[in-house]
Amino acid sequence: MELQVNGNKHTVSAASDTSLLYVLRDELDLTGSKYGCGEGQCGACTVLMDGKAVRSCRVPLSATQGKQITTIEGLEKEGQLHPVQQAFLDVDVFQCGYCAPGMIMSAVALLETNPRPSEEEIVAHMNGNICRCGTYPRIVKAIKEASNA
């Protein structure tokens, strides 16, 4: 099957019911998207599919046909961080950083549809992403900064 990731077309050998997360990580070695639960409960695997945030652990390869997938590896362009990444870096958000890629992808999706979200909207949109280190207020701050950038 074919997979369009970060503007590149890949032919992958995984079966059509394989989760997108496994194809990205194990077959394409795009390991920025993380396994956290395999059930769409934690958001660590969040990627964009045609610009919308999806939990890649719950998306079978078959559902990605003809869609554009963007992963954390696809945000930085020629050494320039995406404004959301830059804001997360500036705020120095994280502790362990394992949830970082999923958080950033969820935030990118939010700002693409809602460039000036209120705090309530940020919290509602991001609630499916878990940061067990508890950096939530710092993430909200970074998203606000990115929205003002």
Partner 1 sequence: MEKETDADIKTNQEQGQPTPDNGNQFSRSRRRFFKLLGGGIAVTFVLQDAFALLTDPENAAVLQQASPKKVGAWIHIGENDIITVYTGKVEVGQNIRTSLAQVVAEELHVPMASITMVMGDTDLTPYDAGTFGSRSTPSMGPQLRKAAATAHAMLLDMAAQQWKVNKSALRVADGKVINTKNNKSLSFGQITKGKQLLKEVSESTSLTPTEKWRVAGTSVPKVNGRELITGRHKFVSDLKQPGMLYGKVLRAPAFGASLATVDLSAAKAMPGVVVVHEDDFIGVAAPDAQTAAKAIEAIKVSWNNTEQPSRSNIFDYLKQHANDGRGGRGSSDKGDVKQGMAAAYKKLEATYNVDYIAHAPMEPRAAVAQWENDKLTVWTGTQRPFGVQDDLASKFNLSKEKVRVIMLDTGSAYGGKHSGEAAVEAARLAKVAQKPVKLTWTREEEFTWAYFRPAGVIEVSSGVKNDGTLISWEFHNYNSGPSGIRTPYEVPNQQIQYHPVESPLYQGSYRGLASTANIFALESQMDDLASLVSMDPLEFRLKNLQEPRLKAVFEAAAEGFGWGKTKPAPNHGYGIGGGTEKGGFTATCAEIAVDPGTGDVKVVRTTTAFECGAIINPEHLENQILGAIVQGLGGALFEAVDFENGKILNPHFAQYKVPRFKDTPVVEIIMLNRKDLPSAGAGEAPIVGIAPAIRNAIADATGVRLKTLPLVPDGLKANLGAP
CB of 104 to partner 1, least distance (A): 6
Residues 91-122 as b/e (b if ≥16 CB within 10 A, e otherwise) read bebbeeebbbbbbbbbbbbbbeeeeebeeeeb
CB of 115 to partner 1, least distance (A): 19
Please name the amino acid found at residue 2.
E
Is residue 80 helix, strand or coil?
A: strand
Nearer to partner 1, 21 or 66 (CB): 21
CB of 149 to partner 1, least distance (A): 15
Nearer to partner 1, 66 or 144 (CB): 144
Nearer to partner 1, 17 or 66 (CB): 17
| Interacting residue ranges for partner 1, rule: CB under 8 A | 14-15, 18, 22, 25-26, 29-39, 41-42, 44, 71-73, 75-76, 81, 85, 88-89, 92-101, 104, 122-124, 126-140
Whole-number Å distance between alpha carbons of 64 and 56? 10
Strand partners, 11: 2
Whole-number Å distance between alpha carbons of 89 and 113? 22
CB of 100 to partner 1, least distance (A): 5
Strand partners, 70: 48
CB of 144 to partner 1, least distance (A): 13
Nearer to partner 1, 66 or 79 (CB): 79
